[in-house]
């Protein structure tokens, strides 16, 4: 027999098809609290859309460690060959709204959560190893250029190229975005990167800088501009459909998990700033070390609860994994958790997808909207243990754990807003251009020309001067492609 239909207070509903009215023709009675509850809740079905990464897909899975990292870290999920950890991974596009097409040329979010024995560890990365900026103070301006013009409410190539032309640090990521990897065929057929430099630290108090790379085992597959344009019309949700169906069919997508590791002191001598998010660490300097495999094998039961309300944040770190001086990471350590508090509320970490699954949260934070939701994995909330709401105390409350203290990090320097134009913004964009085949270079130049041709001559000239510095052949290819459109 079907379950009984009830109101929110659990009372059985006798008639859910006809509102309570005075006579057969109405009006409707204000006392119809069942109708009011239904409409009032419907009005509140949405929470604020993410400003970026609004359109997304997510799934659960498993991370299996195949190489013990005890020499580098005390992090539980990176110790003990064969150890398995539950994971959640949310993919997304960046610039579009929650109803936008999956086949846009746009970076893809690759936001991974490990549910570890010492808390949730999130790596909130992209499918690109670098980013457009190296300082979070520019982020709101940059995103404004990717979204709709405030007057016309249209996407705005002039704003986009104007900003990039004034911020040459973006050139490397612009090259990735405009390359054949700029429109992945699906979320399964692309790599993921932690992008930032993070740190690992071990029992001896030694620190290592680390970058995370997730290489697709499905193989890289991309869409051409023409294929993407068609798909946007035929099936704007193709990546969501592909991910969901492959997991339902038991065809579980996998990524090999790799790290690059740099001992702490080497950062001082290294020829580039290893904390600059617009740069990679060349593989010949720091080869990839394979440490495990990531598999997605379980679809969420409820998209809104588990994907829309998934609240990942780079500040979700665990003992043995830390931040780095990367300025963009520092900004994100604040901004992501702040965005989740705004979107979902102060107790977003009590929701089932966000609460620690493999460990237990115990703290003295109390109250706030929706307190007490409870983590189904522990049957309790972090604030439910007794009446004590302060620490330290002598009432048996949770105690700090000195053995997990992060080793001290040397930081020195005069406080100032440092001019970043001293950095080399061109070499690695050029390196990427030079490793492409002639066909890939041609497609890259044509893709750039398609929108660069629409902007003012002044912005075009400024951009071509940047491409010239990355590689003269890069600028020449774009100039020719623009000329061909005239």
Active site (catalytic) residues? 53, 126
Token pair recorded at residue 388: 């004590």
Contact call for residue 178 and ligand NDP (CB under 6 A): no
- The smaller minimum CB distance to ligand NDP, of residues 54 and 176, is found at 176
Instruction: Sort strands 289-298 and 254-263 into parallel, antiparallel or unpaired.
Output: antiparallel
Contact call for residue 180 and ligand NDP (CB under 6 A): yes
Token pair recorded at residue 281: 């660490």
Q: What distance in Å separates the CA atoms of residue 473 and residue 431, rounded to the nearest whole number? A: 12
* Strand partners of residue 391: none
Integer-rounded Cα Rg, in Å, for the chain is: 25
Q: According to CB under 6 A, which one of 46, 230, 283, 363 is a site residue for ligand NDP?
A: 283
Residue pair 240/217 in contact by the 8 Å Cβ criterion: no
User: How many residues in the shown chain lie near ligand NDP by CB under 6 A?
Assistant: 17
- The smaller minimum CB distance to ligand NDP, of residues 58 and 192, is found at 192
Contact call for residue 228 and ligand NDP (CB under 6 A): no
Q: What distance in Å separates the CA atoms of residue 42 and residue 36, rounded to the nearest whole number? A: 10
- The smaller minimum CB distance to ligand NDP, of residues 183 and 313, is found at 183
- The smaller minimum CB distance to ligand NDP, of residues 406 and 423, is found at 423
- The smaller minimum CB distance to ligand NDP, of residues 220 and 371, is found at 220
Q: What distance in Å separates the CA atoms of residue 279 and residue 262, rounded to the nearest whole number? A: 15
First and final C-alpha spacing in the chain: 69
Q: Which of residues 252-281 bind ligand NDP (CB under 6 A)?
A: 280-281
Contact call for residue 435 and ligand NDP (CB under 6 A): yes
Query: What does the longest C-alpha to C-alpha distance in the chain come to?
Result: 85
Contact call for residue 230 and ligand NDP (CB under 6 A): no
Smallest separation (angstroms) from ligand NDP to the CB of 128 = 7
Contact call for residue 363 and ligand NDP (CB under 6 A): no
Token pair recorded at residue 211: 């970058």
Which of the ranges 54-62, 92-100, 390-398, 428-436 carries the binding residues for ligand NDP, by CB under 6 A?
428-436
Smallest separation (angstroms) from ligand NDP to the CB of 112 = 17
Smallest separation (angstroms) from ligand NDP to the CB of 91 = 17
Q: According to CB under 6 A, which one of 50, 77, 134, 181 is a site residue for ligand NDP?
A: 181
Binding mask 118-147 for ligand NDP (x = CB under 6 A): -----------x------------------
Smallest separation (angstroms) from ligand NDP to the CB of 441 = 10
* Sign of the dihedral through C-alpha 15, 20, 26, 27: negative
Residues 6+ apart with CB under 8 A from 463: 161, 164, 165, 452
Contact call for residue 350 and ligand NDP (CB under 6 A): no
Q: According to CB under 6 A, which one of 431, 450, 468, 476 is a site residue for ligand NDP?
A: 431
Residues 6+ apart with CB under 8 A from 230: none
Which of the ranges 8-16, 234-242, 430-438, 463-471 carries the binding residues for ligand NDP, by CB under 6 A?
430-438
Smallest separation (angstroms) from ligand NDP to the CB of 191 = 5
Residues 6+ apart with CB under 8 A from 482: 449, 452, 453, 460
Q: What distance in Å separates the CA atoms of residue 152 and residue 411, rounded to the nearest whole number? A: 46
Smallest separation (angstroms) from ligand NDP to the CB of 326 = 15
Contact call for residue 221 and ligand NDP (CB under 6 A): no
Number of residues that this document lists for the chain: 486
HSE-CB at 265 with a 13 A cutoff on CA atoms is 1
Residues 6+ apart with CB under 8 A from 232: 101, 103, 104
Q: According to CB under 6 A, which one of 176, 223, 353, 463 is a site residue for ligand NDP?
A: 176
Which residues of the shown chain bind ligand NDP in the complex (CB under 6 A)? 129, 176, 179-181, 191, 215, 220, 280-284, 428, 431-432, 435
């Amino acid at each position: 027999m079907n379950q009984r239909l009830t109101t929110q207070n659990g009372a059985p509903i006798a008639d859910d098809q006809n509102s309570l009215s005075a006579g057969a023709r109405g009006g409707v009675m204000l006392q119809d609290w069942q109708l009011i509850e239904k409409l009032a809740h419907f009005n509140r079905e949405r929470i604020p859309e993410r400003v970026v990464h609004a359109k997304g897909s997510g799934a659960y899975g498993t991370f299996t460690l195949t190489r013990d990292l005890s020499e580098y870290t005390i992090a539980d999920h990176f110790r003990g060959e064969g150890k398995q950890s539950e994971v959640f991974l949310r993919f997304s596009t960046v610039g579009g709204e929650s109803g936008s097409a999956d086949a846009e040329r746009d970076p893809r979010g690759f936001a991974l959560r490990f549910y570890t024995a010492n808390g949730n560890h999130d790596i909130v990365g992209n499918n690109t190893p670098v980013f457009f900026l190296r300082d979070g103070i520019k982020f709101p301006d940059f995103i404004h250029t990717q979204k709709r013009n405030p007057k016309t409410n249209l996407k705005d190539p002039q704003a986009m190229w104007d900003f990039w032309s004034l911020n040459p640090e973006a050139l490397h990521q612009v090259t990735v975005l405009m390359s054949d990897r700029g429109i992945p065929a699906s979320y399964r057929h692309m790599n993921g990167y932690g992008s930032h430099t993070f740190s690992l630290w071990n029992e001896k108090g030694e620190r290592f800088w680390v970058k995370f790379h997730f290489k697709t085992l499905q193989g890289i597959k991309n869409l051409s501009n023409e294929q993407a344009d068609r798909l946007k019309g035929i099936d704007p949700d193709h990546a969501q459909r592909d991910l969901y169906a492959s997991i339902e069919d038991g065809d579980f997508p996998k990524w090999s998990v790799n790290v690059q590791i740099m001992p702490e002191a080497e950062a001082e001598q290294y020829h580039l700033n290893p904390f600059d998010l617009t740069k990679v660490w060349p593989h010949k300097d720091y080869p990839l070390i394979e440490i495990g495999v990531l598999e997605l094998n379980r679809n969420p039961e409820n998209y809104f609860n588990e994907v829309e309300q998934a609240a990942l944040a780079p500040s979700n770190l665990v003992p043995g994994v830390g931040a780095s001086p990367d300025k963009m990471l520092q900004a994100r350590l604040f901004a992501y958790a702040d965005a989740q508090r705004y979107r979902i509320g102060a107790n977003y970490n009590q929701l089932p997808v966000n609460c620690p699954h493999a460990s237990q949260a115990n703290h003295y934070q109390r109250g706030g909207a929706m307190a007490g939701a409870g983590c189904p994995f522990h049957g309790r909330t972090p604030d439910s243990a007794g009446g004590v709401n302060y620490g330290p105390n002598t009432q048996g409350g949770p105690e700090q754990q000195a053995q997990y203290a992060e080793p001290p990090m040397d930081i020195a320097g005069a406080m100032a807003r440092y001019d970043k134009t001293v950095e080399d913004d061109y070499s690695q964009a050029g390196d990427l251009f030079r490793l492409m085949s002639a066909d890939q270079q041609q497609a890259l130049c044509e893709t750039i020309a398609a929108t660069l041709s629409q902007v003012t001559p002044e912005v075009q000239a400024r951009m071509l001067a940047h491409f010239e510095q990355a590689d003269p052949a890069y600028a020449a290819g774009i100039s020719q492609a623009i000329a061909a459109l005239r």
